[in-house]
Amino acid sequence: ALPYFTVEDKGSDKGDANLLTIGKPIAYITMARFEDKARQKLLLNYEVGANTKYRIKNIEFEFFAPNGENLGTTTEYFLDKSITHKFEAKHKNINAMNVKIKMNLIADKLISSLVVSQDVVYNEKFKSFTGGDVFVDGQNLSKLYYDFVVQSKTDLDYFPGKRTNATNRIYDDMIQYEDILYKQVIDVDAKTGLMKLSPDITIDTNRDIQDSFRASLYKDVFEQEMKDLEKNVLELAQEEAQYVARPVPDSLKEIYDHQTALLQFIQRHPAYLNAGKAKSEKAWRKILVQERQRNIRSFSYKVLVTNGKALFSLSEPFVNDQGSIWTFPTPEWFEKSKMPTLIGTLILTFLVLFTAYLTRRNPNVYIRPIAGLEEIDNAIGRATEMGRPVLFVPGWGSLGEPSTISAMMILNQVAKKTAEFDVRLISPHCDYFVAPLAQEMVKSAYSEVGRPDSFIQSDIFFLNDNQFPFCAGVNGITIRERAATVFYMGYFNAEALLMTETGNQCGSVQIAGTDAITQIPFFITTCDFTLIGEEFYAASAYMSRDLELISMLKAQDYFKIIVVFLVLVGVILSTFHFNAFISAFPIE
């Protein structure tokens, strides 16, 4: 049976796709397995063939034993493609079942839902259940395919080639913008050896006469071609008029009718009429080219249902509400699915402006004390008393990573402290783009505190861009220079534990900060103080007490409160099966 299908511009894109929706939504099971030893709790994984025409309220899974006994029903309200069904103890040894899957739609009650029937059988080899063929109204969708037969306005006929499984309910037909123009070679210049290409472009096609409205890119050439066509039609009419007493030959009549129809098709075409009003050749050419672009990207669709063999059935072209068979994808300025993102951005922007106003009125804004940052003065003071240097390791990151930028801002604040205490600061780097930036950050810090003469540029240097050679170099510096205090700030990988163990054995005070969650446990174990997660990004605002940085930090905290509140609202609503709130947010 042929499914009902619709075609529309996809929307919320750059105008490079049409959206085809087929039939009503369905769901089917892919696999299932028992989660407990008692074999009563069955976890099912399923797929949803959804489309944009129908919104799904919930999915009902009804289970039947091979003998027809009802094994219970489970309803899925949040479509996360996983659901658990509990069997009674007497059915714990079941190895096969039939599942009826019904999609309840948010729509008029008169719209009936499709019911999927599927056998689910236990596979002893994989120790799990596998879903069998998907049947809807007695039709095996697992054995069928949908071929979309398409035709553009410049094509003379429909062309196949776009295929999807019958279990899919939606298909994106990607329509690329024209970036390559193929031109016909009409001649070769004997003297230069250069090829002469046809300047003609196809504007539109008349499928009744199987001919096209073609126009030269040069206005004078096109006008001459139109005059020749009119002259040809006139001569054919005069020749036909000579046959008064005898019938007109079929060949002559056919040629005359074809040429007349082509002339009328071109002269009555909107693009021809609009181009005739153009005041310049450039405007004339622009009108024709724009019409061509619309027509080569306007498509008509048919659906061919086939089993991949000899069986097939072809539908009529889809006709939209305007009575046209053509669908043209238009670009959108705004992606509507990202509306929550826009709202969140506006809220965060308002909070930044609001907190900036508050911090200017009251510079002594409270910031939660962070032990690792509170200890920086003591750690650098300890290095001063011991007469040993401070080592700052900026991590394993490139210049464009947020962790590296935050590390550089912390380096600037640490450099101010070492300049005040007149302590040597050493900072090796693994990225030769970061090293010059770090030199400038330290140099400006020393200048700000009035100690530019204490800055030693050679102490801020590129070491190695390979992971473990860089680690070995840092460990060597820690041991040779007997660093009293070591800062690890940035993104780290497996080298983190090797470096911190070395610093620990040397008796160094170690303060670490990273956003690499895999390395935080090692830093907590081997370092004296650790900045966890966002504390690392808050460090620059905490240390500098810069009003702009503090206002942004406070704005982020207020925004987090709003996010937590929305999460709680979503949890409460989803508990009572109201999922519209959760579904409003885009899933990334």
Same domain, 16 and 65: yes
pLDDT in tens, 145-176: 999 999 999 999 999 878 889 999 999 999 98
Looking at residue 397, its pLDDT comes to 80
The mean pLDDT of 530-535, rounded to a whole number, is 85
Q: What is the DSSP letter of 323?
A: S
Report the CATH number that the domain containing residue 444 is assigned in CATH. Answer: 3.40.50
Looking at residue 14, its pLDDT comes to 87
Domain count of the chain? 4
Looking at residue 586, its pLDDT comes to 65
Does residue 577 or residue 327 have the better pLDDT?
A: 327
Assess if residue 579 is contained within a domain: yes
pLDDT in tens, 496-523: 999 999 999 999 999 999 988 889 999 9
The mean pLDDT of 203-212, rounded to a whole number, is 92
**pLDDT exceeds 80 at position 579:** no
Same domain, 359 and 501: no
User: What band does 250 get if pLDDT is binned at 50, 70 and 90?
Assistant: confident
pLDDT in tens, 98-141: 999 998 888 655 567 789 999 999 988 888 999 999 999 888 99
- This prediction has a pTM of 0.71
Assess if residue 194 is contained within a domain: yes
Looking at residue 309, its pLDDT comes to 82
Q: Give 475's contacts (C-beta < 8 A, 6+ positions apart).
A: 498, 499, 502
Which contacts of 401-405 are long-range, i.e. CB under 8 A and separated by 24 or more positions?
401/491, 402/515, 402/537, 403/490, 403/491, 403/514, 403/515, 403/516, 403/536, 404/431, 404/434, 404/490, 404/491
Same domain, 354 and 316: no
Looking at residue 54, its pLDDT comes to 86
Distance CA 94, CA 42 (A): 11
Same domain, 82 and 224: no
User: What band does 588 get if pLDDT is binned at 50, 70 and 90?
Assistant: very low
The mean pLDDT of 566-578, rounded to a whole number, is 88
Looking at residue 500, its pLDDT comes to 93
Tokens 């163990």 correspond to 501
Same domain, 110 and 203: no
User: What band does 324 get if pLDDT is binned at 50, 70 and 90?
Assistant: very high
Looking at residue 384, its pLDDT comes to 92
Share of the chain above pLDDT 70, in %: 98
**pLDDT exceeds 70 at position 95:** yes
Q: Give 234's contacts (C-beta < 8 A, 6+ positions apart).
A: none
Assess if residue 588 is contained within a domain: no
pLDDT in tens, 32-45: 999 888 888 999 99
The mean pLDDT of 357-367, rounded to a whole number, is 84
Q: Is 546 exposed, middle or buried (0-12, 13-18, 19+ CB in 10 A)?
A: middle
Query: How many other CB atoms are found less than 10 A from the CB of residue 423?
Result: 22
Assess if residue 233 is contained within a domain: yes
**Helix (H) / strand (E) containing 59:** strand 56-64
Smallest Cα–Cα separation from 151: which of 3, 340, 301?
A: 301
- Domain's final residue, options 333, 350, 379: 333
Calculate Rg over the CA atoms of the chain: 37
Same domain, 99 and 191: no
Which domain, by its residues, includes 410?
371-545
Assess if residue 472 is contained within a domain: yes
pLDDT in tens, 538-568: 887 877 777 888 888 889 889 999 999 999 9
Looking at residue 415, its pLDDT comes to 93
Q: How far is CA 356 from CA 88, 362, 364, 368, 558, in A?
A: 61, 10, 13, 18, 13
Distance CA 45, CA 83 (A): 7
Same domain, 455 and 556: no
> For residue 62, what are the β-bridge partners?
73, 100
pLDDT in tens, 376-412: 889 999 999 999 999 999 988 888 888 888 899 899 9
User: What band does 587 get if pLDDT is binned at 50, 70 and 90?
Assistant: low
Same domain, 429 and 524: yes
Smallest Cα–Cα separation from 383: which of 477, 454, 482, 453?
A: 482
Query: How many other CB atoms are found less than 10 A from the CB of residue 587?
Result: 6
Assess if residue 485 is contained within a domain: yes
The mean pLDDT of 439-444, rounded to a whole number, is 94
**pLDDT exceeds 90 at position 486:** yes
Same domain, 309 and 288: no
Same domain, 443 and 501: yes
Distance CA 208, CA 258 (A): 10
Same domain, 428 and 519: yes
Assess if residue 288 is contained within a domain: yes
- What is the identity of the amino acid at 335? E
Cβ proximity of 258 and 291 under 8 Å? no
Q: Which is it for strands 299-306 and 145-152: parallel, antiparallel or unpaired?
A: antiparallel
Same domain, 355 and 267: no
Mean pLDDT of the chain: 89
